[in-house]
Chain A
Amino acid sequence: MIRTLGLACAYAGAQPLRFPDVDLPQGGRLLVQGRSGSGKSTWLSLVAGLRTPSAGQVCVAGQALMDLRGSALDAWRARAIGFLPQRLHLSHALSVHDNLALAYFAAGLPRDDAAIAQALHALGIGDLGARYPAQLSGGQAQRVALARAVLLRPAVLLADEPTASLDDEAAAQALDLLQQCCRACGASLVVATHDRRVHQALPGAQVLDLNEIGLQGNQDGRKQL
């Protein structure tokens, strides 16, 4: 689950962004909508514990992030958060299999080759383990990145613009896979996007609309002046 309260993030020389409160139950789905620059990435990084909020609280999977510091926060992130970035950030120096193994290395866990093979198999790319990212199609690469994100069975899967540059069919398939993966490991799904198609593919999901909020935040800022 994800719960935020009075969350705000300040950038040097800019008005602080204020985010509305979110209360997402475990296994729930959340759509973070907004133009580029409206604060989607900022909100994601606050929830992942990569940024410290200037005000407010974040609680993810029962853990208040303000209680964690340094490597404890890193260790928590390794276990609780799965992240599917827009640019997949697969390492070109490593094979697909080794790219997944990075998750174990980052978490400081012993490498589990059987689990890696299983994760690739579950996403229908079990035969690509020995390939390198440069040899994959866009869709295959996204599946690899998704397999890596859910390898350690996180409590929350954060997906940043997962449908950008995909055609309708591929976008629907990608969203389908995301939801499958989340159901399989009981994770909450958060999709940050400005793509309307996502809204249709995730009926009944909570919506966090940053288009209006960003404006409100600025107004609040003016009031404080």
Chain B
Amino acid sequence: MKTIAQLARLSWRYLWSRPLATALNLLLLTLGLAAITLVLLVATQIDRAFERDLRGIDLVVGAKGSPLQLILAGVFHIDVPTGNIPLAEVQRLQAHPMVEQVIPLSLGDSYLGHRIVGTEPTYVAHYAATPAHGRLWQQPMEAVLGATAAQALALGGQGDARLLGAQFVGSHGLGGGGHAHGDHPYTVTGVLAPCGCVLDRLILTGTESVWQVHESGHADTPDDLQALREEREVTVALLRYRTPLAAVTLPRLINSDTALQAAAPAMEITRLLRLLGVGADVLRAFGAVLLVVAALSVFIALWNAVRERRADLAMLRMLGAPPRRVAGLLWCEALWLALLATGLGLLLGHALAELMGYLLQAQGLLPVTGRLWLATEWLVPALATGVALLAALLPALQAYRADVAELLAHA
């Protein structure tokens, strides 16, 4: 035990006796490990976010167009919808014996970049979200804020509770900056507790509110209003099957027999992740290349150290150190590098993930954070140790085999 403490201390001294080489090796190792940590964190969180938002949604029904777009718009709220569909069609679907539940969503307006979604309380129940303050909407023009949306809207440091009863006016379009529906202000009746799902970013209201805003906005006479009411539309419907058999028949039925489009989220998202996966693979390969370069650099540094210090190492043998203790000194030096690089790499990887999460959130996209530790991160110290030990293998062997008598006489 005492010898190990001395080994650690001595190798630490030797490590920093060449500060520039050590700093370079540390930098290379750290960057490689940080890239790998970043990929692990972001890929896992995106996977989880998709999985969480998709849970229990078997089929997304909307207007004809790109199925991926339909799902990005209808489930994740990160794309514009393909169009609207008649309410009557959705009601017919609801009556279908293979359908367990239909959640209608009406999109079109936003407030400060947060989408206003007209829906039914079942949407909130589906994600098992509950109000942290206040209550859900009961009348038209009452609105409930998602946790993140509430934070963003609570300008001037107002608490969530003080948002209750506040009024705001939605603007047309999903990006913000559109025409303001000035004569139809919403009243906040509740703020949802954070659920870690898509609801956090949304402003929820009754489907009737969205109709009310737009119908009276465009109808000039009571007759027009009546006509509009008969042609009421929603944007998307989220379906849950009553039976797994529905997966075989229902999408085909909808796509061929109606003007609607049905898209299975599981399939589309698998496709999307495959596309995203290429990016992750590139970053992962980049990290691997960095690690290989780091391994080479550590190897060269240790190899040179053995050459520079071969008299030192021989002297250690002369002082009675067995070869394994001399080789251990070099292994230990490499392990110090691995330890430092693991710490710095994890730190940097998490910081980058946090920064990425901040940028993504600024664009209202997926929630990514660096304040999360994954079980798979054991890979980082394992990789660092493996790289360091591999790089130290030959130098340690050389130190192990040194001809002491020869070195002491001539070195």
Please give the residue numbers on chain A whose beta carbons come within 8 Å of chain B beta carbons, in ascending order. Answer: 41-42, 45, 48, 50-51, 70-71, 74-79, 81, 83, 85, 87, 89, 91-94, 98, 101-111, 148, 160
Residues of A near B312 (CB, < 8 A) are 89, 91, 93
Q: Kindly identify which residue among A83, A92, A102, A103 contacts B10, using a CB–CB cutoff of 8 Å.
A: A102
Chain B CB within 10 A, most for which of A45, A50, A71, A103: A50
- Residue B325 at the chain A interface, CB threshold 8 Å: yes
Residue of chain B at shortest CB distance from A101: B6
| Chain B residue at minimum C-beta to C-beta distance from A89 | B315
Of B6, B322, B404, the contact of A104 (CB 8 Å cutoff): B6
Decide: A85 and B17 in contact? CB cutoff 8 A. Answer: no
Measured CA separation A77–B404 after assembly (Å): 13
Q: Which one of B17, B314, B322, B411 lies within 8 Å of A92 (CB-CB)? A: B17
Interface flags for B388-411 (1: CB within 8 Å of A; 0: not) read 000000000000000011001101
Nearest-neighbour CB distance to chain A for B25, whole angstroms, equals 16
Known: A74-B317, A102-B316, A111-B2. 13 other contacts (CB 8 A): A50-B405, A89-B314, A89-B408, A91-B309, A98-B13, A101-B6, A103-B319, A105-B3, A105-B316, A105-B321, A107-B321, A108-B320, A111-B6
Whether the pair B411, A87 counts as a contact (CB closer than 8 A) is: yes
Instruction: Tell me the smallest distance from the CB of A141 to a CB of chain B, in Å.
Output: 13
Q: Which residue of A lies closest to B320 (CB)?
A: A78
Please tell me which one of the listed residues A83, A89, A101 contacts residue B311 in the complex, with CB atoms under 8 A apart.
A89
Query: Could you say which residues of chain B place their CB within 8 Å of the CB of A42?
Result: 405
Determine whether the beta carbon of B316 is less than 8 Å from that of A106.
yes
Sample 19 A-B pairs with CB under 8 A, ordered by A number.
A50-B405, A77-B319, A78-B321, A81-B318, A83-B319, A85-B315, A91-B309, A91-B312, A93-B17, A94-B13, A102-B10, A105-B6, A106-B319, A107-B319, A108-B3, A108-B320, A108-B321, A111-B2, A160-B408
Closest to A74 in B: B322
Partner of B322 from A71, A79, A89 at Cβ < 8 Å: A71
Contacts of A98 in B (CB 8 A): 10, 13
Would you give the shortest CB distance from B370 to chain A, in whole angstroms? 37
B residues 297-340 near A (Cβ < 8 Å) are 309, 311-312, 314-325
Q: In whole angstroms, what is the CA distance A150 to B320 when docked?
A: 13
| Assembled-state Cα–Cα distance A81/B316 (Å) | 13
Kindly list the 6 A-B residue pairs having the minimum CB-CB distance in the complex, ordered from nearest: A78-B320, A93-B17, A106-B319, A106-B321, A45-B405, A89-B315
Within the assembled complex, what's the spacing in Å between the Cα atoms of A74 and B408? Answer: 16
| B315→A75 contact, CB < 8 A | no
Residues of B within 8 A of A (CB): 2-3, 6-7, 10, 13-14, 17, 309, 311-312, 314-325, 404-405, 408-409, 411
What's the minimum C-beta distance from B330 to chain A, rounded to whole angstroms?
13
Which residue in A85, A87, A92, A110 is a CB contact (below 8 Å) of B318? A85
Minimum distance in angstroms from B331 CB to a CB of chain A: 15
Given contacts A71-B322, A108-B325, contact A93 B14 (CB under 8 A): yes
- Main secondary structure on chain A at its contact with chain B? helix
When the two chains form their complex, are residues B13 and A106 in contact, meaning their CB atoms are under 8 A apart? no
Task: Name the A residues within 8 Å of B323 (CB-CB).
Answer: 74
Whole-angstrom distance between the alpha carbons of A91 and B329 in the complex? 14
Closest to A82 in B: B319
Q: Kindly list chain B residues whose C-beta atoms are within 8 Å of the C-beta of A102.
A: 10, 315-316, 319
The one of A41, A70, A77, A110 in contact with B320, judged by C-beta atoms closer than 8 angstroms, is A77
Closest to B409 in A: A41
Complex Cα gap A77–B17 (Å): 28
Task: Tell me the nearest residue of chain A to B410, going by C-beta.
Answer: A41
Which B-chain residue is minimally distant from A45 (CB atoms)?
Answer: B405
Known: A41-B405, A74-B320, A85-B318. A93 touches B13 (CB 8 A): yes
Q: Please measure, in the bound complex, the distance between the C-alpha atom of A74 and the C-alpha atom of B325, giving whole angstroms.
A: 11
User: What chain B residues lie within 8 Å of A104 (beta carbons)?
Assistant: 6
Assembled-state Cα–Cα distance A109/B1 (Å):
10
A184 to B323, CA, bound (A): 31
Q: A41: nearest residue on chain B (CB-CB)?
A: B409
The listed residue (B7, B317, B404) touching A105 by CB distance below 8 A is B7
In the complex, what residue of chain A is closest to B6 when comparing beta carbons?
A: A105
Question: Which residues from chain A contact B321 at a C-beta distance below 8 Å?
Answer: 74, 78, 105-108
Residues of A within 8 A of B7 (CB): 105
- Beta-carbon contact of A106 and B17 below 8 Å: no
* Residue among B7, B319, B411 with most chain A CB within 10 A: B319
User: In the complex the two chains form, what is the Cα distance from A83 to B404 in whole Å?
Assistant: 13
Minimum Cβ distance to chain A for residue B403 (Å): 9
Q: How far is the CA of A85 from the CA of B312 in the complex (A)?
A: 12
Complex Cα spacing A104 to B13, Å: 16
Contact residues in A for B13 (Cβ distance below 8 Å): 93-94, 98
Give chain A residues whose Cβ lies under 8 Å from the Cβ of B411: 87, 89
Contact B2 A110 (CB under 8 A): yes
Contacts A93-B13, A105-B10, A106-B319 given; does A85 touch B3 at CB 8 Å: no
Shortest distance in angstroms between A46's beta carbon and chain B's nearest beta carbon? 9
Give the distance to chain A from B311, nearest Cβ to Cβ, in Å. Answer: 5
B408 contacts across to A, CB distance below 8 A: 41, 45, 50, 83, 85, 89, 160
Pick from B309, B312, B408 the residue with the most CB of A within 10 Å: B408
Find the residue from A101, A102, A104, A105 having the highest chain B CB count within 10 A: A105
> In the assembled complex, which residues on chain B have CB atoms less than 8 Å from the CB atom of A106?
316-317, 319-321, 325
